Structure 1
């Protein structure tokens, strides 16, 4: 059965849960508040591969209980369709006193594991979607009110933007600010700039995706928030080339098919569902001929940054910003 994340506290009659989605921070919060607090002993954490490589040992632990264990909480990280048959067997056995939580990343609708839990009458499937800025801003505001910390909305917006949609990182930053503010009545902007870190470096992939979708503001933000080294430039330019070649193929296919959704859905290798919207933006921003010209220009830039490695960051940054700003013909 499918339920929403806030309904978990009312689902006391199920022992089998599938948590899937990219919001790891929210998943950890639910696991800690709704499950771990009830267990002082008998918490076991596995990686999926660890279980699949030694199923017999896993089942022995599943079925056995020590003198101090009334119930067991078993957490399986990075669960995929590979573990589906084993989980089916566990659900069929319905071992008394065992709570099983599978933690998965994004699972597509055709996922066998996801389908098993969605169709089951006793197992629970819970999607954890990424938090938006509004949700994170609300969480932050409530946190500061609860802790009687005076702070402006501008600062809250800064904190949220630096956490990049990750509730776990947000909670970490909020605790840091709470500890810092114990001897202060008000937190200023300069305090936050010193205290908070980016949740993680923007990935090279995100930089190139922003450029190809002609999102200049985000591209510049990614460049400014990262301390790229000359060694990173080769990785960036190779990623740029790979994604541009894919873009050229997509643009060419769209000229033939005329249906953008069909082009993206049937493309090989498959485009992951969360990337589909940004790929649509990229196809809308470039023609096939423009993408072909860009491939040639990227090759030229690679030669240039190898020839002048001491200035490679400036060369590549200027090129990326220029392509983000370029106007379609």
Structure 2
């Protein structure tokens, strides 16, 4: 059954056990999910990535079968869902989902999508599309936020922030919070400061994601993927940043292969490695041989081409690539 985004107040998780939220407006989806969680007291919330479920179906079935004596309700959220989850959902239709609701969070699904069709046609299921926010909606939110926090900003700066947010209110909220905290210290919000602020978290998230990915820190990598709303532009930035990082690690990996001394390799690195990055880079050098890095560079180039050709699905392509990478055994074929 189809619900419009403004009709979500009709959604009752006590009755609606399977819900599909789809569309590229991650901020709007997160906002509505938060509202649903707020009105459902004494609940257990477990969040998974689709790949985790597909790699181990028992995770989901164990969640359904197990029930805490202290919880009245359990909500399972499956992020970055695609058509691959369809068979799993169909298998759940005949199971008793009493006291359990599953929210499927997917990106863009076209009209031919079997997953979307299943949720739209079955009256027991709920399907909600989240389309990009209009500039008017984002401008209204921005002006209200600035007024409430007594912050003065020119219209050109407001337009700059809105354009940066890729029509996603979640990204906009993050940017406005950064501006709020910056202004609490009574610092002048110049054009230069504004540009630094609206790029700070984005660059940090991508860099942190790449570092943990190459160190094969699976838990941390999945955490970063779940906590950030990456855009199509971010996917290109990710591939370019990853390639530059790999070239640097390749040089260090070759040196380590020759001298067999990881500390000497780090100490002799040019340019010098900042002290807080040394342990993470050690892990990266140890995890990857020069041959494997060269092979990975080729794969990243292929992934970049795929991302550019499939911009509507670029975030899923990037996420699958990352999750496959951190799950990869060193001696296996990539």
Q: What TM-score bracket applies, with the shorter chain setting the length?
A: 0.5 to 0.7
Secondary structure in 2 aligned to 1:196? helix
**Alignment-derived partner of residue 213 in structure 2:** none
User: Which range moved further: 64-73 or 152-161?
Assistant: 152-161
User: 1:172-197: per-residue Cα shift (whole Å, max 9, x none)?
Assistant: 11001111222549855454234221
Cα separation, partners in 2 of 1:199 and 1:181, compared to 1, 3 Å: closer
Match of 2:56 among 47, 54, 57: 54
What CA RMSD, in Å, does the superposition of the two structures yield over aligned residues? 3.7
Q: Distance in 2 between matches of 1:54 and 1:148?
A: 50
Q: SS of 2:179's equivalent?
A: helix
Instruction: Please give the alpha-carbon distance, in whole angstroms, between the structure 2 residues aligned to 1:49 and 1:119.
Output: 26
Aligned length: 224
Aligned to 1:126: 128
**1:55 Cα offset (Å):** 2.3
Which TM-score applies when normalising by structure 1? 0.57
Q: Hey, what does 1:159 align to over in structure 2? A: 161
For 1:23-69, what per-residue CA distance to the aligned partner results, in whole angstroms no more than 9, with x for missing partners? 12221222122225635651111222322333234212212211111
Unaligned runs of 5+ in 1: 202-224, 247-270, 276-329
Q: Secondary structure at the match of 2:78?
A: strand
Which residue of structure 2 aligns with residue 18 of structure 1?
20
* Cα pair 1:169 1:199 within 8 Å, conserved: no
What is the Cα deviation at residue 198 of structure 1?
7.4
Structure 2, unaligned runs of 5 or more:
204-236, 245-296, 314-334
Q: In the alignment, what sits opposite 2:92?
A: 90
Residue 115 (structure 1) shift: 0.5
Whose radius of gyration is greater, 1 or 2?
1
> For residue 150 of structure 2, what is the aligned residue in structure 1?
148
Whether the aligned pair in 1 keeps the contact of 2:42 and 2:73 (CA below 8 Å) is no
Q: Write out per-residue CA displacement over residues 227-281 of structure 1, whole angstroms, 9 at most, x where no aligned residue.
A: x89x87x99xx99xx79xx9xxxxxxxxxxxxxxxxxxxxxxxx76959xxxxxx
* SS of aligned partner of 1:74: strand
Partner in structure 2 of residue 7 of structure 1: 7
Partner residue of 1:174 out of 176, 185, 192: 176
Taking structure 2 as the reference length, the TM-score comes to 0.57
The 2-side partners of 1:139 and 1:49 are apart by 35
Q: Cα–Cα, structure 1 residues 149 and 38, in superposed 2: closer, same or farther, change >3 Å? A: farther
* Aligned counterpart, 2:199: 197
Q: Which residue of 1 aligns with 2:290?
A: none
